[in-house]
Amino acid sequence: MLEIKNLHAGIDGKEILHGLDLHVGSGEVHAIMGPNGSGKSTLANVLAGRPRYHVTAGSVSYEGKDLLALPTEERAREGVFLAMQYPVEIPGVNNIYFLKAALNAVRKHHGEEELDAMEFLQLARQKMKLVELDEAFMNRAVNEGFSGGEKKRNEIFQMAVLDPKLAILDETDSGLDIDALRIVAGGVNALRSEKHSVLVITHYQRLLSYLVPDFVHVLANGRIVRSGGKELAEELEQKGYEWIEQEVAAGAR
Amino acid sequence: MNTATKPDTDVLQQIREQAGQRFEQLGWPTPRLEEWKYTNLQALQSRFDAGAFREAATPAASRSSASLPLRFGDRALGELVFVNGVFSPEASSLPSVAGLRVTTFRNASVDVLEEHFARYADYERHALVALNTANAQDGAVIEADAAIEGFVHVLFVGSDGFQSFPRNLIVAGRGSQLAVVESYAGTGAYFTNSVTEIVAEDGAVVDHYRLECESLEAFHVGTVQIHQGRSSSVSSRSFAVGGAVARNDTNAVLAAEGANLVLEGLFVTNGTQHIDNHTLIDHAVPHCESVELYKGILDGSSRGIFDGKIMVREGAQKTVSRQTNKNLLLSKTAVVDSKPTLEIFNDDVKCNHGSTIGQLEEEPLFYLRSRGIGQEEARNLLVYAFASELVDRIRIDAVREQIGRAMFQQMPGRLPDRRGEQR
Ligand SMILES: Nc1ncnc2c1ncn2[C@@H]1O[C@H](COP(=O)(O)OP(=O)(O)OP(=O)(O)O)[C@@H](O)[C@H]1O
Ligand SMILES: [Mg+2]
C-alpha cells in the first residue's frame, strides 16, 4: 500500500530526512516513535504534500501510484489523511460545511454521488458520537476556539467521516487526558480493517496500549534506525531513545 | 406620478444657491488634495462638463418594477425606489407604522428640511457634497420617534447616460430606534452623486446599511454624514462592490457625551475597478466610543483605498476608539492603499489602530486541500470567510441575505451555498 524508498526531504532548504525506508502493508498499523526533532512530522507532512516541504531524492509509492507527483487534494481524494499535530484555526469557515465539501470532493473523485445536506448530517452525527464531540462544535468555524483536545478529536472526527485508506496521525495523543485518549483510539480502531492502514506518530506507549500496532519503528536523525513489534514500544518507554542512538552511533563507527 | 415641486422655500433655495456657488469656487477635486490623492475624477469631470450625462425628468417607463434589482418587497416595512434620481411611486411602498414617517424629499415638510437639510454634510469644504446640495433632486426623508421594528429600504437605480443627485435625510428622534438600508445599483455608464445625512438624537439607536452595487461602468461619489446626540448609538455598515470609479465617504461627529459608533465597511474590487473609502470620526466631546473595521478584497488589476481618520479633540477625554483595516490581495496586479490615522489632542484616551495587507494564508489553504477540497474551492472558501466576518454582523436576516448575495456574486469562483447551513 505504501512504499517509501530512500526518502530525502526537508523544509525551507534544510534536509531533515536522510534516506528513509518504510513499507506499510494493507490493513497494518505502524507506529513511528523517535526523539523531538528527528523528522517525524517532516515525514507526515511530506506524505500529505504540505507547502514548503520538499523532496530531494527517493520515492513514495502509494497503491502503485507516485504519491509525490499528486497535488495535496488528489492525495486526500485517493485516501491519504493526515491528522495534524497542530490543526490550524480557520475563522469564518463553518466546520460542517467544510467537511461536507471535502467528503463530496472525495466522493466525486471516485464517481460516487454527492451527499445532500440531510444525508451528510446523518453520517456526521453518527461519527460525532464515535468521538463524543458535541453537535454544537459542528456549527462553529473550523477549530476556532477549540481546546487542544477538541482539535484532536475534530481531526479524528474528520478522519472517521472521510474514511481514508491511509491515516497518518501526527501526535494525535499529545495533550490528551486518558478519557480523550481512549476516545481517539476508539475512533481509529473503528476504522481498522483489511483495507485501512494507519501510521501513528507518537512519543508514548500510552496510546499504543489502546491502539495496538503491528510494527514499531524508531526514527532518529532522519532515518528509521530500528523496527520491531509492539514490544519495541514498551522497551522504548522504559529505556528512552538514548540506547538506540548510542547503538546506531556505535554501529556507524 | 409625482408632480410636486422641489421644496423651494426661501431658506432652502438660499442653501442650494450657496452650495452651487461653493462648488464653482472649489471646483472638482484633484489628486493634489490630500483627501483625493488616490482618486482622480478627471474622466468623470470631462464627461460631466461635456454634458455626457442628462438628468431624468420622469422615472423611466421602460423599467418595469419586476426588473429592478435588490428589492426587499414585503420583507421591508417600506421601500422607496428612485430611478435615475426620480421617485417611482409604482415601484415603491410607503410604510404605515406608528412612530415612523417616511416620505420623499420633495414631499417632506419644510420644517424638517429647514431644521436638518445641509446642516451636517459640509458643502463648504467638500466639493461633491456641494454639487449634490446644489442639485439634489429627490430621496428619502425618514423620521422615527419610537422604537421601530424592521427596516426601511431606499433603492436608487441608475441607467446609461444619466446623472442623479440622491439626497436622503434620516432623523431618529429621542429614544427612538430605526434601521435603514440604502442601496445603489444600475446598468450602463451613469453618474451618481449622493448625500445621506443621519441624525441620531439623544438616546436614539440607528442601524444604517449602505450597499453600493453600481454598474461596473458607473461613477459613484457618495457621502454619509452622521451626527450623534447624547448616549445615541449608531452603526453604519458600508458594502461596496460596484462602480468603475467609486468613492464612499462616511463621516461621523460624536457631538454629545456617551455616544457610541460602529463603522464597518467591506469593499470588493475586481477588473480595473477603483473603490476609495474615506471615513472621518470626530470625537468632539468626552466619554464617547467608536469601533471601526474595514476590510478590502482586491482582485484583477483593481485598486482599493481605505483612508480613515479618527480625530479626538482637546476636550474629548475618556474617548475609546479602535480602528482596524484588513486587506486581502488576490492577485499580483491588485493594489490597496491603507491609511489609518489617529489625531489625538488630549492624553486621557484609549485609542488604537492598525492595518494589514496580505495574501491568503498558506496554512489554512493546505488544511482545506489536505481534506480533498480543490485549490480553487479552498481559495474561495477562505475569501468568503474573510468577507463573512462583516456580512455575518448584519443583524437583520433579510438584509444579511441580500447584501451577502450581492457581495459574494462579485467574488471569484462560484458562490458556495453556505447560508442555509449556518445554525
Ligand atoms: N522552517 C524550518 N526551517 C528549518 N528547519 C526546520 C523548519 N521547521 C522545522 N525544522 C526543523 O526540522 C527538524 C525536524 O522537525 P519535525 O517537526 O519533523 O520533528 P518531529 O520529529 O516531528 O519532532 P516533535 O517530536 O517535536 O514533533 C527539527 O529540528 C526542526 O527544528
Ligand atoms: Mg512533530
Q: Which residues of A touch B (CB under 8 A)?
A: 48-52, 71-73, 75-77, 81-82, 84, 87-88, 90-94, 96-103, 105-106, 109, 117, 139, 141-142, 158, 162
CA–CA separation, B180 and B157 (whole Å): 17
pLDDT of residue B339: 96
pLDDT of residue B64: 56
pLDDT at B60 exceeding the cut of 70 = no
Q: Is the ipTM value over 0.90, yes or no? A: yes
Q: Which three cell numbers stand for residue A32?
A: 513511528
Q: CB-based burial of residue B358 (10 Å sphere; 0-12 exposed, 13-18 middle, 19+ buried)?
A: exposed
Q: How far is the CA of A169 from the centre of ligand 2 (A)?
A: 10
Inspect the interface and report whether the beta carbons of A101 and B373 lie closer than 8 Å: yes
The phi, psi pair for B57, rounded to 5°, reads -100, -35
Longest dimension (CA), chain A: 63
Q: pLDDT, tens digit, for every residue of B78-117?
A: 999 999 999 999 999 999 999 999 999 999 999 999 999 9
Ligand 1 atom closest to residue A45's alpha carbon, by position in its atom list = 18
Strand A197-201 to strand B54-55: parallel, antiparallel, or no bridges (unpaired)? Answer: unpaired
Contact indicator for B253, B280 with CB cutoff of 8 Å: no
Enumerate the domain spans of chain B: 10-256, 361-423
Please report residues of A whose CB lies closer than 8 A to that of B378.
Answer: 73
Q: CB-based burial of residue B332 (10 Å sphere; 0-12 exposed, 13-18 middle, 19+ buried)?
A: exposed
% of chain B beyond a pLDDT of 90: 88
Q: pLDDT, tens digit, for every residue of B218-239?
A: 999 999 999 999 999 999 999 9
**Which of B364, B385, B423 is opposite residue A88, by nearest beta carbon?**
B364
pLDDT of residue B414: 40
Q: What average pLDDT does the segment B377-390 reach?
A: 93
CA A163 to chain centre: 13
pLDDT at B10 exceeding the cut of 80 = no
Q: What average pLDDT does the segment B289-304 reach?
A: 97
pLDDT of residue B88: 94
pLDDT of residue B63: 56
> Is B373 part of the contact surface with chain A (CB cutoff 8 Å)?
yes
Strand A2-11 to strand A14-24: parallel, antiparallel, or no bridges (unpaired)? Answer: antiparallel
pLDDT at B26 exceeding the cut of 80 = yes
Inspect the interface and report whether the beta carbons of A88 and B367 lie closer than 8 Å: yes
Q: Which three cell numbers stand for residue A74?
A: 488528489
Q: What is the DSSP string of B294-351?
A: EEEEE-TT-EEEEEEEEEE-TT-TT-EEEEEEEEEE-STT-EEEEEEEEEES-SS-EE
- Calculate the average pLDDT of chain A: 93
B379: nearest CA in chain A?
A: A93
Which single residue is written with the C-alpha cell 495534524? A84
Q: Whose CA is nearest to atom 17 of ligand 1?
A: A41
Neighbours of ion ligand 2 (CB under 5 A): A 40-41, 85
Q: Which residues contact B342 (CB under 8 A, 6 or more apart)?
A: B309, B310, B312, B321, B323, B351, B353
**Which of B362, B373, B388 is opposite residue A73, by nearest beta carbon?**
B373
CA–CA separation, B206 and B200 (whole Å): 7
Where residue B150 falls (left for φ over 0; alpha for ψ -120 to 50; beta otherwise) is left
Q: How far is the CA of A34 from the centre of ligand 2 (A)?
A: 10
Q: What average pLDDT does the segment B259-271 reach?
A: 97
The phi, psi pair for B362, rounded to 5°, reads -65, -45
pLDDT of residue B420: 35
What single-letter amino acid sits at B66? A
Ligand 1 atom closest to residue A35's alpha carbon, by position in its atom list = 25
User: Distance from B394 to chain A by nearest Cα, in Å?
Assistant: 15
User: Distance from B70 to chain A by nearest Cα, in Å?
Assistant: 25
Inspect the interface and report whether the beta carbons of A90 and B362 lie closer than 8 Å: no
Q: Whose CA is nearest to atom 9 of ligand 1?
A: A11
Pocket test for ligand 1, best of A8, A14, A236 (most atoms within 8 A of CB): A14
Q: Give contacts of B 147-206 with A, CB under 8 A.
A: none
Q: Kindly list the distances between the CA atom of residue B127 and the CA atoms of A175, A218, B61, B123, B165, in Å, as whole numbers in the listed order.
A: 62, 74, 33, 6, 13
pLDDT band at B4 (very low <50, low <70, confident <90, very high): very low
Contact indicator for B76, B150 with CB cutoff of 8 Å: yes
pLDDT < 50 regions, chain A: none
Inspect the interface and report whether the beta carbons of B373 and A87 lie closer than 8 Å: no
B381: nearest CA in chain A?
A: A93
pLDDT band at B248 (very low <50, low <70, confident <90, very high): very high
- Give ligand 1 pocket residues (Cβ under 6 A): A 11-12, 14, 16, 34, 36-42, 85
**Which of A51, A77, A106 is opposite residue B366, by nearest beta carbon?**
A51
